[in-house]
């Protein structure tokens, strides 16, 4: 069988995972600075970089990004020279969030400068789970035509089956009220696909609307809603950094008032690898939530690597 002539650059981690799920990992020739899964993609040339210092506290990073956006500057830069050298046939980007990754406009401007190639742009814009399914299908078709459609349908069948199994397993159980925290300083609740995942896992999301961008949240709102479960999933943070950044929550005077805190039902998660990435591993994220909400029924094995219980003792005496 003739191998397709593909040279794919993915500029968002979720798209990289979609390409790999479609069996096209060997055709990736470049990636964004954030693409890190599957692990082998970290050896690919990097084509983007942040324009701000990504190190620091949640509050410091928020201020830097806000300052850039206020100045009408993009948050990330595209390495046009690297794109030129790699001569891609396809570049995958996004139009969903200008803070999460390079924007479609940034990529279009970079591609306009290329002379050695005329790549096809594939722009993804997921806001809910159905959009992620559409993006997987669209990517398969754009890269391989009819053969890509077949591959995408097979991938989607497997993902949807896992969703249905999880949904059936938790549908008859009590539904705890849940607050999913996507940023700690200032407070932000998780929107887009996360409230949908909460419902599918047998919970009731208190903040954020399905298909809508993540909303800012006040402490008074959080205390008034008094969730039974809190899941902390900061955008771009792994478990280690999430644990560190959650210290600001534990130090807040209203934190001990929350029912979830008093009951020991607060959990840390790896938002960077799972909840924040609208790709195939959103199904892993769903299964994690089912483990958290209903541990007696759902045991998928993510505890310790994808999520862990919050332990306020970790923060005693923290600077």
Q: In terms of pTM, does the model score above 0.85? A: yes
Calpha distance 208→107 (Å, rounded): 29
**Region(s) of the chain under CATH 3.40.50.1980:** 173-315
* Domain 8-125: assigned CATH number: 3.40.50
300 contacts 36 by C-beta, under 8 angstroms: no
Could you give the CA distance from residue 10 to residue 32 in angstroms, rounded to a whole number? 6
**HSE-CB for 135 with a 13 A CA cutoff:** 28
Helix crossing, 146-170 with 129-144: angle to 10°? 160
pLDDT tens-digit series, residues 249-299:
999 999 999 999 999 999 999 999 999 999 999 999 999 999 999 999 888
Q: Which fold has domain 173-315?
A: Rossmann fold (3.40.50)
pLDDT tops 80 at residue 216: yes
SS3 state at 120 = strand
**Cα 268 from Cα 302, distance rounded (Å):** 12
Per-residue pLDDT band for 99 (boundaries 50, 70, 90) equals low
Are the CB atoms for 27 and 7 separated by under 8 Å? Answer: yes
Identify the bridge partners of residue 8 per DSSP, sorted by sequence position. Answer: 28, 90
Predicted confidence (pLDDT) per residue in 139-150, tens digit:
999 999 999 999
């Amino acid at each position: 069988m003739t191998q397709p002539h593909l040279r794919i650059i993915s500029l968002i981690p979720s798209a990289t995972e979609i390409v790999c799920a479609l069996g096209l990992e060997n055709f990736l020739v470049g990636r964004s600075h954030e693409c890190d899964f599957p692990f082998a993609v970290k050896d690919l040339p990097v084509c983007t970089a942040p324009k701000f210092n990504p190190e620091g506290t949640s509050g410091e990073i928020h201020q830097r990004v806000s300052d850039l956006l206020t100045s009408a500057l993009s948050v990330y830069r595209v390495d046009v020279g690297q794109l030129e050298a790699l001569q891609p046939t396809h570049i995958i980007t996004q139009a969903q969030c200008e803070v999460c990754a390079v924007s479609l406009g940034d990529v279009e401007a970079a591609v306009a400068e290329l002379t050695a190639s005329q790549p096809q742009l594939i722009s993804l814009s997921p806001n809910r789970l159905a959009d992620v399914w559409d993006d997987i299908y669209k990517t398969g078709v754009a890269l391989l035509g009819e053969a890509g459609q077949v591959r995408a349908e097979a991938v989607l069948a497997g993902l949807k089956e896992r969703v249905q199994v999880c949904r059936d397993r938790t549908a008859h159980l009590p539904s705890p009220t849940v607050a999913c925290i996507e940023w700690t300083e200032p407070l932000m609740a998780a929107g887009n696909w996360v409230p949908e995942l909460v419902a599918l896992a047998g919970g009731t999301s208190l903040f954020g609307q399905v298909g809508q961008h993540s909303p800012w949240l006040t402490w008074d709102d959080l205390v008034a809603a008094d969730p039974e479960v809190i899941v902390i999933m900061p955008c771009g943070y792994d478990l280690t950094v999430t644990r560190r950044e959650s210290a600001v929550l534990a130090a807040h005077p209203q934190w001990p008032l929350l029912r979830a805190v008093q009951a020991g039902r607060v959990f840390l998660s790896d938002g960077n690898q799972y909840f924040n990435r609208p790709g195939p591993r959103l199904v892993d994220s769903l299964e994690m939530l089912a483990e958290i909400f209903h541990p007696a029924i759902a045991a998928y094995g993510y505890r310790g690597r994808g999520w862990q219980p919050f332990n306020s003792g970790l923060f005693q005496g923290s600077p």
